Amino acid sequence: MGFAQEKPNIVWIVCEDISPYLGSYGEAGIRTPNLDDFAREAERYTRVYTTSGVCAPSRSAIITGMNQISIGTPHMRTHNDPRLMPEGVPSHSAVLPENVRAFPEYLRINGYYTSNNAKEDYQFEEPVTVWDESSVAASYRNRAAGQPFFSVFNLAITHESQVIRPPDSLYYDPEAMTLPLYYEHTGQMRRDKAALFTRIEQMDRDFGELIAQLKTDGVYQNSYIIFYSDHGGNLPWMKREILERGLHIPFMVRHPGGQKAGSVNNDLISAVDFAPSMLSIAGIQPPQYLQGKAFLGPHENEEKNAYIFAARDRTANHYDRVRSVSDGTFRYVYNFMPEVPKYQDLAYRKQMASMREIIEMRDAGEITNPFLLDWFQAPKPQEELYYTAKDPDEVHNLAGNPAFAEKQAELKTALFNWLEAVGDVAEIPEAEMIRNWWNGKDSPPVTATPVIEKVAGGVRLFSDTPGASIGYRIFDGAIGDTTRVREIKTWDFFYLMPGNKATTVEVPIPWEVYSGGTVPLKPGQTIQVNARRIGYLPSENTLEMNE
């Protein structure tokens, strides 16, 4: 089937774990020529923040348009090796409120082809209705002729793991690295930052290759092309923090036809705003339940954010509960668990050489930097206030300073008003939250078997589970092969690790999204139906049309 395309394409190019360490953001010591060229054709946003300093909670908010603390996805992470989960907390898929969807499903309902290459990590297993394809072979190239598309490409080479496993050779002189105020100035710390800069330059190369592909395919000029990082980071005491260094990200939008080329946008934007903005670009009125505000497209919200908010909760098997709010100039932090230090003793992070060095220096009493020592102090202060505009490393806590009492009170009020407005599931012990989702049982509920009702000209589909998404596939005759072979064209560094020689991959045949009405079904055809509420187990049904 062909399409007479009227709606714009949307391309996301998502890197991982970086603050705005790019030439276009003023980082003079790094070489990012492709992203710098892109910035000259794009609208560059200077004040975009994620809702978490670590990937899974952040990606959960991005894909749903809902703050993770309001939908049960604040802990890093819900799917995990049982050995890394707290006692009594099973690995699980979060059960989202019944009205909450992953936003690409709305795009599909409105005719878009959606592809994700390839990372998900949303804290839940998504229904089959979210993506036409999500794999290392996923691409807009597989859509029908003229069909508008939303395609995600993940550039994972800047992930924390790629500093843990540093490149064979560094592109930057470690001695030339400038370190934040909260580090000891050691050779190893400078080497790890040089490794990070090397990975960013490699990511810039991958970005350039992908942009070249978009141009070759003729989709560059008339698409929204959006580049951003899934959160800040990724060195010690950056990633996982809900401070400037863990939340502030690069974000650039190239508009169709090059509109707003070279412009700078200083609006305060949260990653929870991404979902309604993408729907707005596609001409879709964002659902009222979404907590973000559209900042692009015909449904752009005229009311701008006065504040942006973030949350930090469990990481692996270590609990903390921290909330922060920023007005773009000051940041206020409230620690609900002051009895535990800011530092979490995470085995994964200790694989990084500079993290091991910090621990060794701490244990030997060799840390002289008071800002770094603050990471390990317990108790920690219940309240923190930073003049971020003048103290970008956020090391000078002004909470309790009479000169800033009014600002502290303003931001504290804004934070607690927000917590009341969106709700904070982390008030409930995690094991209890899961028991409530699972109705006191040891496993998640199962979505009701979808009902297939024969009507004139085809079938209608129903599910008795509120909030279930319904997908279907139609086969000529009995259900045959449900997969197809795709050539791998991936931008995911994890898949391209040494030793992986595969050039093709089997991917599922896409499911269509059922949004009501009659699905045409001819005699001799078979319909396969899959229903799933997010967090429940899926359920399927089939019908062969014999008349």
Whole-number Å distance between alpha carbons of 319 and 487: 42
Whole-number Å distance between alpha carbons of 358 and 349: 11
* Cβ-Cβ contacts under 8 Å for 413 (sequence gap 6 or more): none
Answer for the pair 316, 78: CB distance below 8 angstroms, yes or no: no
**Catalytic site residue 55?**
yes
HSE-up (13 A, CA, CB side) for residue 495: 17
478 pairs with which residues across the strands? none
* Cβ-Cβ contacts under 8 Å for 390 (sequence gap 6 or more): none
Using DSSP bridges, classify how beta strands 525-532 and 519-520 pair: parallel, antiparallel or unpaired: unpaired
Instruction: For 322-366, list the strands marked E by DSSP.
Output: 322-326, 331-335
- Identify the three-state secondary structure at position 451: strand
Helix (H) or strand (E) holding 545: none
Using CA atoms, how far residue 13 sits from 52, 120, 195, 428, 439, in Å, is: 19, 14, 22, 36, 39
Cis before 40? omega within 30:
no
454 pairs with which residues across the strands? 459
Whole-number Å distance between alpha carbons of 224 and 260: 12
Say which amino acid occupies 157: I
Report the candidate in 388, 376, 415 with the shortest Cα–Cα distance to residue 246.
Answer: 388
Whole-number Å distance between alpha carbons of 433 and 235: 32
Whole-number Å distance between alpha carbons of 451 and 540: 9
Using DSSP bridges, classify how beta strands 149-155 and 9-15 pair: parallel, antiparallel or unpaired: parallel
Answer for the pair 112, 148: CB distance below 8 angstroms, yes or no: yes
- Eight-state DSSP code of residue 256: G
Answer for the pair 107, 282: CB distance below 8 angstroms, yes or no: yes
Catalytic residue among 55, 56, 177, 210: 55
The number of residues in the chain equals 547
Report the candidate in 446, 441, 444, 462 with the shortest Cα–Cα distance to residue 538.
Answer: 446
List active site positions.
55
